Amino acid sequence: MFKIIKVKDYEEMSDKAFDVVKEVVDANPKCVLGLATGSSPVGLYQRMIKDHQENGTSYADVTTFNLDEYCGLPKSHPESYYSFMHRNLFSGLNIPEENIHIPEDGEDKEAKCKEYDASMESYTVDLQVLGIGSNGHIGFNEPGTAFDTKTHIVTLKESTRQDNARFFDSIDKVPTHAITMGIDTIMHAKKIIIVASGANKADAIYAMIHGPKTTDVPASVLQDHPDVVVVVDAEAGKLL
Ligand code: GLP
Question: Tens digits of per-residue pLDDT, 112-158?
Answer: 999 999 999 999 999 999 999 999 999 999 999 999 999 999 999 99
Q: What is the pTM of this model?
A: 0.97
pLDDT on residue 47 = 98
The CA distance from 182 to 191, in Å, is: 16
**Is residue 66 among the annotated active site residues?**
no
- Does the annotation count 68 as an active-site position? yes
Is the CB of residue 218 below 6 angstroms from any atom belonging to ligand 1? no
- Catalytic-residue membership of 135: yes
Dist. CA 23 → ligand 1 center (Å): 24
Q: Is 140 in the pocket of ligand 1 (CB under 6 A)?
A: yes
Residue 238 pLDDT grade (very low, low, confident, very high; cuts 50, 70, 90):
very high
Measured CA to CA, the distance from residue 238 to residue 74 in angstroms comes to 39
What pLDDT is attached to residue 81?
Answer: 98
Per-residue CA distances from 35 to 127, 192, 207, 213, 214 (Å): 9, 10, 23, 24, 24
pLDDT in tens, 197-215: 999 999 999 999 999 999 9
Whose CA is closest to 62, among 53, 75, 52?
A: 52
Is 175's C-beta closer than 6 angstroms to any atom of ligand 1? no
Give the CA dihedral 151, 140, 36, 41, nearest 10 degrees.
Answer: -170
pLDDT per residue over 158-181, tens digit each?
Answer: 999 999 999 999 999 999 999 999
